[in-house]
Chain A
Amino acid sequence: MTMFLLASRNLVRRPLRSALTLAGLSLGVAVLACLYSFGNGYKRALSGELDRMGVQLMLVPLGCPYDAAARVLKGKELDNSLPETALEEARRDPAVAVAAPLLMVALPRPHEGRADMWVGLDESALELKPWWRVSSGQKWFPDEAAVILGCDAAEIEMRAPGDDFFSPETGANLKVTGVLERSGTSDDSLFFVPLRTAQKMFQQPGRVTAIAIRLRDPELLRGASERLQQIPGAQVVTLTEMMGTFLSLLGAVRTLLLSLAFVALAISVLSVFNTLLAAVVERTNELSVMRAIGASRAQIVRLIATEALLLSGAGSVLGILLALSFGRGIENLVKGFLPMVPTQSLLSPTFTIGLQSLVIGVAVGVLGGLYPAWRASRLHPAAALKAE
């Protein structure tokens, strides 16, 4: 306890220097904690979103499969489409439990900085989205002139079940039959219409932009992929592949950012080293007197090490608190660079991540304090007498 008090008093003797070291260390730890948390959160949010899709395969038109599947998942339109015969072929495959066609079309509204996203569905979509709930109205279209709105879309358009809804670009006059509950997915801002209606509205008879597929048994994935790949004009993307691709992209970004975090921590080591070494040099007389009146080398090492521990412990705790406070800002910044951004939060702060960051931060501090502690312990009691 005496050692602890002595060490903390030594630190507050030079408040500005200690505060600056603390700030540097806390920033490094904050970045590290954010990155750990972000990586885990992204993986969890992505797999959650893909799981909720309830599909293992996506049949998309020829082109870049990942781009196509990502666009479908993000609620963006595709440039080309598949013939509806591909749907029939997919449904004939013995491994396919559900094949749901999607026709997605974006109608840009440049003045509003957004696009109306129309999605044509048939009833098989309900089997893939068992979690679909309406907050008001009906869950499915009673006729072809019906539209179901995502909750954000309904809010912006001020629509409720029973209201008319007009699409000026296509001339379609529809009746709102339902408004979806908030799901936290891209569904919240979409306009859903029956597939046939979408095909008529956008003059795409017999065409779909993607087919979402759920298998009878996930074990059948390989064989089913090979067979479905044979459908002319179509290519298969498995969601596992997609997730792998997104995660490896994230991995590359994360490695780069982690390198930066470790550089920041290395600078923190030097900062702690500099602070403590300067303190040791300044206190040469004091430490020599301590040695002269009986303090052992081990006690001097413990004193300086305790100072390093206090600095790095406080810096790490502050860094973790900073990460918790400003993590959302960093998340928003990073989201812009990711190929597929789940709608839920990407930050997943856990006790383990906090502990890891704390341990690394403290280790950094202690490492920075090793040499100053060793040097302090080498001071000879005679140095104090000489100085006197």
Chain B
Amino acid sequence: MSRLLLVGGGAAALVVAAIAWQSGRPSSSEFFVGKTKPPEAAPVCPWREPEVDLKLSFPNASRYELENHPLSGSRLELAERLGRALAPDENLLPVYRIYGETGAVGAVLTRRVKGTHGAIEVVIATDLRDQVCGLRLQRLREPEGVARALENPEWLRSFHGKTAGSGWDLGRDIPEVPPEARASAAAIAEGARSALILLAGTARSPSNAPVKAPHH
């Protein structure tokens, strides 16, 4: 008993020492000190106003749950579908799973995209078939004319029904916007398309099983 206790105590002390040593080392983000990360690796975009989006896209929702889907196992396949390499912040896809009284009713994804005049944060709501059922800009800093065009309800509704495999060309599959809003509009469309491709990627590979966060 006493030996067991001594060995156990020694092991615990070693673990604590290891944690202490580890806490003194720079975190991985500190290795970037002095280097500005590329814009694609923007900080994870939070979901700022769940109540607003739930009311708009899922009026019967009763709760939501955050699932973090690791995507590192299917990087090559996803890169092929996206037509570009995955950004470092795309290794993990946060998906807000929405539940009604009878079960899951859809999901919400958020993306931060590079608008012409600043970052634009897009909230994409999808139904159970991974089709867009709502799209809202939760944050943007575009001039008034551009903002008006991008936040036009008709334009935002044109995304409804789109899936990862749909056409996403501005002017053909999505209504055209004034020239000064074109770059930002294209960024929003590309952001939504990327989010849907990544969402579809979470269902393809068993290694992408979600890590659930606490209930909300």
Contacts and interface: CB of A to CB of B under 8 A. Distances in A.
Chain A contact surface mostly: helix
A324 B23 contact: yes
B211 interface: no
Interface in B155-207: none
Interface string A154-172: 1111111000111110010
Contacts of A19: 5, 9
Contacts of B116: 164
A200 interface: no
A182 B39 contact: no
Contacts of A165: 117-118, 141
Interface residues of A, number: 37
A179 B38 CA distance: 12
A255 interface: no
Contacts of A154: 36
Contact of B39 (A15, A111, A160, A317): A160
Nearest to B187: A158
B2 A15 contact: yes
Contacts of B23: 324-325, 327-328
Interface bracket on B: 35 or more
B84 interface: no
Nearest to B1: A15
B24 interface: yes
B2 A166 contact: no
Interface stretch (B11-19, B59-67, B101-109): B11-19
B50 to A, nearest CB: 12
B119 interface: yes
A344 B154 CA distance: 48
Nearest to B30: A182
Interface of B: 1-2, 5-6, 9, 13, 16-17, 19-20, 23-24, 32-37, 39, 42-43, 48-49, 112-119, 138-139, 141-144, 147
Given A112-B139, A165-B117, 7 more contacts: A111-B139, A155-B39, A158-B39, A159-B119, A160-B39, A324-B24, A328-B23
